[in-house]
Structure 1
Amino acid sequence: MEMPALAGARLMGGAGGLDRVILRANVMEVPDILPWVKPHELLLTTGYPLRNTPQGLPELVCDLQRHGLAAMGVKLHRYLDALPEQMVAEADRLDLPLLLLPDAIGFDEIINQVLTEVLNRQAGALERSWEVHQALLAIVLDGGGLEEIADRVAATLPASVFVTTPDGRVLADGGEPADLEAWRASACFEETGRFRIEYEQRGVHAHADVPGWHAVVPIVAGRVDHGRIVAFSADRRLDDGDVHVLERAATVAALSVNKQLAVTAVESKYRGDFLRDVLAGRAGGREQVVAHCETLGWQIDRPMVVAVAEVDPDANDLPESGFELRPIQERFSTAWQTVVGRRDRRAPVVGFAREVVALLPVPFGNAEAVVQDVVREVSGDGGGGRRSFSTGVSRVVTGPDELPAAYEQARRAVHVGRQVHGSGAVAHFDALRSFRLISLIRDNDELRGFIRETLRELAATDDEDMADLRHTLKILLDANLNVAEAARTLHFHYNTLRYRISKLERILGPFTTDPELRLDLALALKVLQMRGMERP
Structure 2
Amino acid sequence: MKPPVRLASTGTIIHGVSVGEVLGVSTLAGAKLIAGESGLGRIVQRLNVMEVPDVLAWVKPHELLLTTGYPLRNTPQSLGRLVADLDERGLAALAIKLGRYVDELPAEMVEQADRLGFPLILLPNDVGFDDILNQVLTDILNRQAGVLARAEEAHRALVHVVLAGGGLNEVTAEVAQLLDVAVAAVDGSGRVLATAGAPDQVAALRVSIAREGPPVLPPGPAAGPAAGPARSGPPAAASGRGRPFASVPVLAGGHHHGRIVAYSPSSAIGDSDVGILERAATVAALVITRQDAVNAVESKYRADFLRDVLTGRAGTPERVTARARAFGWDLARPVTVVVAELDPDGDERSAQDRLVSCWTAAIRRHDPRGAVAGFSHEVVAVIDAGADASRVARDAAAAFADLPPATFSTGTSRPSTGADTLPEAYSQALKAARVGRQLHGPGAVAHFDQLGVYRLLSLVNDTGELHAFVRETLGPLASDDDAENADLRRTLQALLETNLNVAETARRLHFHYNTLRYRIGKLERILGNFTGDPHLRLNLTLALHVLRMRGI
Q: Match of 1:202? A: 225
Deviations 1:266-290 (A, max 9, x none): 4334323221111113334545433
- Alpha-carbon distance change, 59 to 150 in structure 1, aligned in 2, over 3 angstroms: same
Q: Residue 99 of structure 1 aligns to a residue in which SS?
A: strand
Equivalence map 1:53-132=2 (5 Å): 53-132=75-154
- Alpha-carbon distance change, 234 to 499 in structure 1, aligned in 2, over 3 angstroms: same
Cα offset, 1:10, TM superposition: 1.4
Cα offset, 1:264, TM superposition: 3.7
Query: Within 2, Cα distance between the matches of 1:433 and 1:49?
Result: 97
1:138 is aligned to 2:160: yes
1:26 is aligned to 2:48: yes
Q: Match of 1:390? A: 408
User: Scaled by the length of structure 1, what TM-score is found?
Assistant: 0.69
Deviations 1:6-40 (A, max 9, x none): 21121212222223333333333334444544443
Asked if the contact 2:187–2:193 (Cα under 8 Å) also holds between the matched residues in 1, the reply is yes
Task: Kindly provide the amino acid, as one letter, of the partner of residue 227 in structure 1.
Answer: H
Asked if the contact 1:455–1:524 (Cα under 8 Å) also holds between the matched residues in 2, the reply is no
Q: Match of 1:366? A: 388
Query: Within 1, Cα distance between the matches of 2:441 and 2:30?
Result: 74
Query: Within 2, Cα distance between the matches of 1:527 and 1:71?
Result: 82
1:271 is aligned to 2:289: no
Q: Residue 185 of structure 1 aligns to a residue in which SS?
A: helix
1:357 is aligned to 2:380: yes
2:206 to 176, 181, 185: 181
Cα offset, 1:248, TM superposition: 2.8
Cα offset, 1:46, TM superposition: 2.4
- Alpha-carbon distance change, 12 to 307 in structure 1, aligned in 2, over 3 angstroms: farther
Deviations 1:64-123 (A, max 9, x none): 333333332222112221111111111222222222122222233333333333333332
Query: Within 1, Cα distance between the matches of 2:69 and 2:452?
Result: 87
Asked if the contact 1:40–1:69 (Cα under 8 Å) also holds between the matched residues in 2, the reply is yes
User: Scaled by the length of structure 2, what TM-score is found?
Assistant: 0.67
Instruction: Specify the structure having the higher radius of gyration (Cα).
Output: 2
Equivalence map 1:424-463=2 (5 Å): 425=443, 427-429=445-447, 448-449=480-481, 453-455=485-487
- Alpha-carbon distance change, 263 to 106 in structure 1, aligned in 2, over 3 angstroms: same
Task: Kindly provide the amino acid, as one letter, of the partner of residue 347 in structure 1.
Answer: G
Q: Match of 2:426? A: 407
Bigger drift between 414-423 and 237-246 goes to 414-423
Asked if the contact 1:161–1:231 (Cα under 8 Å) also holds between the matched residues in 2, the reply is yes
Query: Within 2, Cα distance between the matches of 1:225 and 1:14?
Result: 41
Deviations 1:35-72 (A, max 9, x none): 54444333322223333333333333223333333332
Query: Within 1, Cα distance between the matches of 2:362 and 2:136?
Result: 51
1:153 is aligned to 2:171: no
Query: Within 2, Cα distance between the matches of 1:52 and 1:340?
Result: 81
Q: Residue 382 of structure 1 aligns to a residue in which SS?
A: coil
- Alpha-carbon distance change, 84 to 272 in structure 1, aligned in 2, over 3 angstroms: same
- Alpha-carbon distance change, 333 to 28 in structure 1, aligned in 2, over 3 angstroms: farther
Asked if the contact 1:413–1:428 (Cα under 8 Å) also holds between the matched residues in 2, the reply is yes
Asked if the contact 1:420–1:531 (Cα under 8 Å) also holds between the matched residues in 2, the reply is no
Cα offset, 1:154, TM superposition: 3.3
Asked if the contact 2:167–2:287 (Cα under 8 Å) also holds between the matched residues in 1, the reply is yes
- Alpha-carbon distance change, 241 to 189 in structure 1, aligned in 2, over 3 angstroms: closer
CA RMSD of aligned residues (A): 5.2
Q: Match of 2:340? A: 308
Task: Kindly provide the amino acid, as one letter, of the partner of residue 230 in structure 1.
Answer: I
Q: Match of 1:214? A: 246
- Alpha-carbon distance change, 524 to 36 in structure 1, aligned in 2, over 3 angstroms: farther
Deviations 1:326-369 (A, max 9, x none): xx977875676567557765333334445443445585x43333
Q: Match of 2:260? A: 230
Task: Kindly provide the amino acid, as one letter, of the partner of residue 306 in structure 2.
Answer: L
Asked if the contact 2:436–2:444 (Cα under 8 Å) also holds between the matched residues in 1, the reply is yes
Q: Which runs of 5+ in 1 are unaligned?
A: 319-327, 460-472, 485-496
Asked if the contact 2:246–2:261 (Cα under 8 Å) also holds between the matched residues in 1, the reply is yes
Cα offset, 1:314, TM superposition: 5.0
Q: Residue 204 of structure 1 aligns to a residue in which SS?
A: coil
Number of matched residues? 478
Between the two proteins, what is the percent identity of the paired residues?
40
Query: Within 2, Cα distance between the matches of 1:422 and 1:36?
Result: 71
Query: Within 2, Cα distance between the matches of 1:9 and 1:456?
Result: 99
Q: Which runs of 5+ in 2 are unaligned?
A: 1-22, 235-243, 471-476, 522-530
- Alpha-carbon distance change, 334 to 33 in structure 1, aligned in 2, over 3 angstroms: farther
Asked if the contact 2:362–2:392 (Cα under 8 Å) also holds between the matched residues in 1, the reply is no
Query: Within 2, Cα distance between the matches of 1:526 and 1:54?
Result: 96
Bigger drift between 4-13 and 394-403 goes to 394-403
Query: Within 2, Cα distance between the matches of 1:88 and 1:421?
Result: 75
Query: Within 2, Cα distance between the matches of 1:526 and 1:205?
Result: 64
Query: Within 1, Cα distance between the matches of 2:349 and 2:62?
Result: 39
2:71 to 49, 57, 67: 49
Asked if the contact 2:190–2:209 (Cα under 8 Å) also holds between the matched residues in 1, the reply is no
Task: Kindly provide the amino acid, as one letter, of the partner of residue 260 in structure 2.
Answer: V
Asked if the contact 1:204–1:239 (Cα under 8 Å) also holds between the matched residues in 2, the reply is no
